Every structure is written in structure tokens, then in C-alpha cells.
Amino acid sequence: MGCNSACSYCIVPAVRGREQSRRPGDVVAEVTALAADGVREVTLLGQNVNSWGRDLAPQIRTEFGELLRAVDAVPGIARVRFTSPHPKDFRDPVIRAMAECEAVCEHVHLPLQSGSSRVLKRMRRTYDRERYLRLVEKLRAAIPDLALTTDIIAGFPGETEADFCETLKVVEEVRYDGAFTFVFSPRQGTEAAAMPEQVPEELRRERVDRLIEAVQRIALERNRARVGRAEEVLVEGPSRTDPAVLRGRTRRNTTVNFRGTCKAGELVAVRIEDATSTTLRGTEAVLAAA
């Protein structure tokens, strides 16, 4: 809980205070209890989840990569996810743990917020465009078939058309599998709310529409590339829109609607037959190894 960063648009540090890490033994004990109850997948949550452990020193010297390895070793846990990491804290031990731990999924939600280094500086994000792209390159080199999703804000104060085009260029270069896109909304009490050069709302919304178009187009292309593959799916239950169809998620965190006879909590192989920008469709194939 809490956050030690000082992003100029965010109220979280003011209302939740500084980061506080749970002790590693407590986390592993909870995951072990969940596994004993039949849970197959866990998600480690934190405002800046990959900075976990630093406030435990000097009593405990650890880092997030060690926690991933400890949770990966819990019998019965088939999948481990985490969200949301901050690019500034995404260090090599975490990347190595992702690459080496069988249960840690091939998906990273890596907030960008803007593709313009000038805007990122105004946001106080503490990284620039080039550093972010180097991290993406390192992640993809270490983790084959990695899915990347992100958060992006359109219309931050002072954002020019050239700045926004830089964001679109990053979207095209990284080719995200999905993105949460936001129109900048000033939060009372934040630095950004009082900044000059506020972008008119109509222009903010026009930019987010262009951003959504680019994200959805690329996500559709990437999902269509999965057609014909067999994907391991963790079954969640019936589809929300069609009870005759089952729903689950791949290790890359893509929703799959499929025909089959399996039960919630099972890991199954699904042959992908069709895709949209947000979902895959298919038919149950051979049971995957648990």
C-alpha cells in the first residue's frame, strides 16, 4: 500500500502515505493457504509492486524478484501475476525471476503514461522515452512471447500535438496487447491540476479517440496472430454473455471464450479459431499439464 513516488497528477501519496511492504513470510503463508483451498492463480498487488521489500531493511534484506521466486515455489500455484510495476523500479533480478520461474506469467502491465520525454518530465515519472523503450527491449529479450499492456494519459497539461504524436509513435513501436487509455482529469490537490497550459477538453477527447484507435488496431493484429495456436487457459466459468460458452484467461492475460466441457479452476488447452482486439475464441483441445 502507499507510494513513494511524486507523480504530478496523482493523489495517492497524499491519501495513502508511503509504501509499506508486507513481510515475505506473511505473503507466502497466505499464498500457501490459498493453494490449499484450491486456488491456482494469485496476483501480487501494490501501487509500485516491484519496489516491494525496500522498506523492510535493515531487518529484512530482500527484493521483489525473491518474492516472485518464493511464491512460484508454493505447491499447487500454477500462475503468478503482479501489478502494477513502475518502470523506474523494474530491475534485472525481477526480469530474471520472470524468465526462470515456471508459474510467473508472460505478461507485464508497464505504465507508459506518455511517449514524450518532455511530458514525462512534467509528470515527474523519473524516466524518459528512451529508458522506457530500453526496458521493453530487455523484457522481450528475456521473456519470449511476452504480452505488454500499459496505461496512457491523453491531454496532460502542456501536451502539444508533437508530444501526442510521440505517444502514438511509442504505441506503434512497442505494439501493446492492450492499454487503459485516459483523458487527463485534474485531481484537486495535485500539482498537475494547477499547471498552466491546460489542454481543452474537446482536444483531450479527440486525442484519446485517436489513441484508442491505434491501440485497438494493434491489439487486433496481435490477437489474430494467435489464431491456429493452442493456448493454455485457466477456466473461470461460463461466459458473461453466453452461458453455453466457457470463459478463461491465457498466461498472457487474454480473455478466451471457448466451447468445452471443463470446470472452473482447470487448466486446458484451447485451439484458437478467431480473435477480436480484446478476446480470443476457440475450442477445448487436449488437457494441459497442471
The CA dihedral of 59, 64, 66, 72, to the nearest 10 degrees, is: 130
Q: What is the pLDDT along the chain (290 residues), one digit of tens a residue?
A: 789 999 999 999 888 899 999 999 999 999 999 999 999 999 999 999 999 999 999 999 999 999 999 999 999 999 999 999 999 999 999 999 999 999 999 999 999 999 999 999 999 999 999 999 999 999 999 999 999 999 999 999 999 999 999 999 999 999 999 999 999 999 999 999 999 999 999 999 999 999 999 999 999 999 999 999 999 999 999 998 888 999 999 999 999 999 999 999 999 999 999 999 999 999 998 644 44
Could you give the CA distance from residue 205 to residue 75 in angstroms, rounded to a whole number? 48
Structural domains for the chain: 12-224 (3.80.30.20), 230-287 (2.40.50.140)
Q: What amino acid occupies position 211? A: L
C-alpha cell at 116: 514524450
Percent of the chain residues past pLDDT 70, beyond the cut: 98
Edge-to-edge order in the sheet of strand 178-183: 107-109, 147-154, 178-183
Q: What amino acid occupies position 262? A: C
β-partners of residue 284 are 270
Q: Is 143 helix (H, G, I), strand (E, B) or coil?
A: coil
